[in-house]
Structure 1
Amino acid sequence: MRMEEPRMTQAPAPQRKVDRDEVFVEFTKSICPLCKTPVDAQVNIRENKVFLRKRCREHGEFEALVYGDAEEYLSSARFNKPGTISLTFQTEVKDGCPSDCGLCPEHKQHACLGIIEVNTGCNLDCPICFADSGHQNDGYSITHEQCARMLDTFVASEGEAEVVMYSGGEPTMHKHILDFIDLAQTRPIKNVILNTNGIRLASDKRFVAELGKRNQVPGKSVNIYLQFDGFQERTHREIRGRDLRTFKQRALDNCAEAGLTVTLAAAVERGLNEHELGAIIEYGIDHPAVRSVAFQPVTHSGRHVAFDPLDRLTNPDVIKLIGEQRPGWFQKGDFFPVPCCFPTCRSITYLLVDGEPGNRTIVPIPRLLHVEDYLDYVTNRVLPDTGIREALEKLWSASAFMGTTTTEEKLRATAKALDCADDCGIDLPQAVKDLNDKAFMIVVQDFQDPYTLNVKQLMKCCVEEITPDGRLIPFCAYNSVGYREEIRTAMSGVPVANVVPNALPLQERLADTPYGSKTAAKEGPR
């Protein structure tokens, strides 16, 4: 009997580990964009872009692009200025960020800019509106008494406040808007910004003249923050719902006649109007009323067009587009992060402008002064002139608006330190002398939405919504977490979805304060 030899078996090939296709940066917290529940999140880098990934137990996983240049994201950390503590806090720490706004004692920065939304009604129903304003039945308008108390809340927190912005809705529709500006000017608040679509400014020259008078009050200013998204009819119809080009032109001309300084504020959406950035800057430089432009990648909260969270516009994308569209004017390195907020939230540059339309010489100030040396808080270099650092901190700030006394003073202080080579193209001593006419500001601001919210950034926010119940709520939390819906429900008496989970109902907050909801003027449909 033949014995069968044992059969040789081949050993399995060793398994090989595979590297991930991304670099893990940090662990943080965010919210579910659907139910607004706080969730764990992580920040990752792949293909030189920064992404936020999170998972909700009920709704699954979400991921969004948060910064289009990973190298700049990481290097921006050196511009993170230590925060300043507010004089007062309005809430206690109970559940942690973002559920305890605000401001709570764990918040890392005071309010550079306070926002008061005077109403929810609007003479437009824009397809893109993070505030979801318009002709809804859950509208409200604040009263004279409420506005006064909101301003007092801001002053109590800040002492001498730099800037308050009146917004909405459309604030020029409020019958007391001029009185509200007067209320601010009788308090230690230096500057008022009116955030508007410009329709009333285009059609009511008497109203514009009244704004101009208030801009002449000694030590105070009134400036206009005008929606201005581009020049093509498609841009206007898809962002604002109607063609407003004629209104914008008339509004600007009326502001120039009244001596008002204007910032053009452009909502920028991927695939819609990102090709118009250079033209907006050039138009602004050429118009006598305009001294600055603010570009804001669309915040995908409230009403917005369909979008892909993985293919949204971010600050470095906008800055790159500006350089591509006006290559003779801009280059990499002309913009620097704003240190008072989280440095990836906002970037700014200032320009010296000379010449006539069609023959302009444009020189960004960062090419004439090593801005990064003064705003580097990690290396912390010892520099010879600390006054320049203080001036630059005010210029690279959320409170910086052209037309305000503080910004003009700090620009002049900075200009004295500028170094202009022979090929600069501008007579620098004359430019310094004529700084009010020759300086121009460009801001790029990416506000967080429910897809991109990162509490690490939120805790450093210095743009605060002032609410009727006496809180200062970080702007991105107000629009993303559910606080806007909470306020609207209480003020209008009409339930609004997505109230902050586990938050004390606003009706209970109001019941124990002088803001009582019975004093709120229900706005209703228009």
Structure 2
Amino acid sequence: MSEHDVILHQTQSVCPECLRRIDAAYRLAPDGGIFLHKRCPQHGDFRTPVWRQGQGLPDFRDWVTERVPAPPQQPGHAADKGCPYDCGLCPDHAQHTCTGLIEVTRRCNMACPVCYASAGRDDAGDLPLDEALARLRGLRAVSGACNVQFSGGEPTLYERLPQLVAAARDLGFGLLQVNSNGLRLAEEDGYARRLREAGLDSVYLQWDGPDDAVFRKLRGRDCLAFKRQALRRCAEAGLGVVLVCTLARGVNDHLVGDLLRRAVRLGPAVRGLHFQPAASFGRVPWALDQSPRLTLPDLMLALERQSDGMVRARHFHAPSCEHSLCSFSAVYAREGEGLSAEPVGATCCGGNGARLDNAEGARRSRAFVAGHWGAPQPMPDAADAFSRFLNASGADRRFTVSAMAFQDALSFDVERIRGCCIHVVVGPGKLIPFCAYNLTARNGQPLYRGRAS
């Protein structure tokens, strides 16, 4: 830490060695880099890059917006030890559920070198159907008509998945989405259609680059051919698809522009391209302090430079749902095989420097994701201008570019986790913020995963 660093904001984090809660601060270095600094009395100092300034990039102080908290109406756990140790959610959590994530299996038909769930290399089985249904009912009771993502492992290996999707549709949830590597969707004729007929809206399709060289590094095998087949089958079935790219510095960060152009050309079934800069939890082939991490501004700048200006850093907005440092997005109109010169209409974001109400932000985010990422369908709630915009500009005519920066033990910020709106359902009515659920110490010891009930 330099004596010339400027403290921008003070918060709390955890020690990456022992997961003890400790004080932390965002500090601006003389070179324009912003780092999260923290000190554990037992394990010493830690410094992690989280933002960068300059070159037309958004200023940290303008990007981070003050929020009006929206605590859970039905907390599942008392506030006792303090964040992040009371997840359930506790009464001190500051944001409603936008997406409830249900891991239906630990099994996987791949064993990727990078896997946040560490799936595919053990004998752990499926979530019993009665437990899966109980979690759905509990989620509906405490979080209302939020969006639902079925995950794993590889959720398409869960043989009762169509039945579970139909049950979620009957319960009146918003968007129903499956997070998939695409292998079964590609190989089994009619499977995508079965899921669509059950009520599925969207597939969150793992897609890390424009060529197989990237897949071999991150997934351990060639994947492009079956990914394309999976996309074709989803399009034929009427499912919306979001391509999801795990991004690692030195592996595929130089290919984001190429991937963007190809994603747009893949056609209207592809609703958007979503980037997830690699975080160090689950199974990764690097040490925590050697993580090939990219900040959100790093990605904004790479997209602008590599797309020849098709998208620009100034196009992107902070979220109105999760914490400002967690994500960005912009929505464009499709124009031939390209995108409009400027973003169009509203997005699920819309941070504009004003004080934001978390409850309204969550509502807008749920509405946007359900109306844009899923299969074409009219939205029932068209009473306001935002909903009318979504109805009037069909999903097949829009394309979203977005990113989510997950937190690991080095970048963890208690304020960010309290603002999380993506909640893993670990029991009936028991929810844990995604990054808290996946948080692991340097030695691999989890805070929650595999220990929650």
Query: One fold, TM greater than 0.5?
Result: yes
1:253 aligns with 2:200: no
* Corresponding residue SS for 2:328: strand
1:437 aligns with 2:421: no
Equivalent position amino acid for 1:264 in 2: L
Q: Which residue in 2 is equivalent to 1:43? A: 26
Q: Which residue in 2 is equivalent to 1:268? A: 247
1:118-517, aligned counterparts within 5 Å? 118-137=104-123, 139-159=124-144, 161-215=145-199, 221-288=200-267, 289-306=269-286, 312-355=293-336, 357=337, 360-365=338-343, 375-378=352-355, 393-394=364-365, 401-403=372-374, 413-414=385-386, 435-468=394-427, 470-480=429-439, 498-500=445-447, 506=452
Q: Which residue in 1 is equivalent to 2:7? A: 24
More deviation, 172-181/390-399: 390-399
* Corresponding residue SS for 1:477: helix
Residue 309 (structure 1) shift: 5.5
Equivalent position amino acid for 2:120 in 1: G
Cα separation, 2, equivalents of 1:74 and 1:133: 38
Conserved 8 A contact 1:336-1:372: yes
Equivalent position amino acid for 1:364 in 2: E
Equivalent position amino acid for 1:60 in 2: G
Equivalent position amino acid for 2:241 in 1: V
CA deviations on 1:58-80 (whole Å, 9 max, x unpaired) are: 433221112233852211133x4
Query: Sequence identity of aligned pairs in percent?
Result: 29
CA deviations on 1:410-443 (whole Å, 9 max, x unpaired) are: 799459889xxxxxxxxxxxxx966333211111
| 1:332–1:157 Cα change, 3 Å | same
Cα separation, 2, equivalents of 1:225 and 1:411: 29
CA deviations on 1:58-117 (whole Å, 9 max, x unpaired) are: 433221112233852211133x44233322110001110011002000000111111001
CA deviations on 1:453-473 (whole Å, 9 max, x unpaired) are: 000111111110000364110
Cα separation, 1, equivalents of 2:354 and 2:290: 32
Equivalent position amino acid for 1:460 in 2: G
Report runs of 4+ in structure 1 exceeding 4 Å deviation: 307-311, 368-375, 389-392, 395-401, 404-418
Cα separation, 1, equivalents of 2:400 and 2:225: 24
Cα separation, 2, equivalents of 1:379 and 1:195: 30
Conserved 8 A contact 2:147-2:366: no
Residue 476 (structure 1) shift: 0.7
Number of equivalences: 442
Residue 212 (structure 1) shift: 2.4
More deviation, 163-172/145-154: 145-154
| 1:391–1:437 Cα change, 3 Å | farther
Cα separation, 2, equivalents of 1:499 and 1:345: 21
Normalised TM-score (structure 1) = 0.76
Conserved 8 A contact 1:63-1:310: no
Residue 481 (structure 1) shift: 5.0
Structure 1: 5+ residue stretches without partners: 1-18, 216-220, 381-388, 419-431, 483-495, 511-526
Conserved 8 A contact 2:62-2:353: no
Residue 170 (structure 1) shift: 0.5
Cα separation, 2, equivalents of 1:372 and 1:206: 36
More deviation, 456-465/50-59: 50-59
| 1:101–1:456 Cα change, 3 Å | same
Cα separation, 1, equivalents of 2:264 and 2:170: 33
Conserved 8 A contact 1:83-1:340: no
| 1:411–1:195 Cα change, 3 Å | farther
Residue 54 (structure 1) shift: 1.9
* Corresponding residue SS for 1:304: coil
Normalised TM-score (structure 2) = 0.88
Cα separation, 2, equivalents of 1:453 and 1:406: 39
Cα separation, 2, equivalents of 1:450 and 1:49: 20
Structure 2: 5+ residue stretches without partners: none
Largest Rg, 1 or 2: 1
